[in-house]
Amino acid sequence: MSDSKVINMWAGPRNISTTMMYSFAQRSDTEVVDDPLYAHYLLHTGVDHPGREEVLEDMSTDGQTIMEELATRKHAPQWTFLKNMG
């Protein structure tokens, strides 16, 4: 991810991951990315989560493209916090 240092947090449901994400979002040197692969997961597993259709409409489902975009940002912050669901 450019010169950005990455904190990649994978968490289970009902975890403190959202609290951690909001804490890191308060830092001016940190960009937070919330579940960048969620739509990819929904599409490829067929899981029927609440809001599934809205997520699939709003987010990219191409995991490779998502990771490439994160890795090749031109103006990356000092830190990137990725929150993912396991």
- As beta bridge partners, residue 11 has 85
| Whole-number pLDDT of residue 2 | 58
Q: What is the pLDDT along the chain (86 residues), one digit of tens a residue?
A: 457 799 999 987 777 888 999 999 999 999 999 999 999 999 999 999 999 999 999 999 999 999 999 888 887 789 999 999 87
pLDDT of residue 14: 74
Q: Name the 3-class secondary structure at 60.
A: coil
| pTM metric for this prediction | 0.80
Question: Which of 53, 39, 23 has its CA nearest to residue 85?
Answer: 39
Tokens 């979002």 appear where? 25
* Cα separations in angstroms, 15 against 18, 20, 40, 49, 83: 7, 10, 21, 17, 11
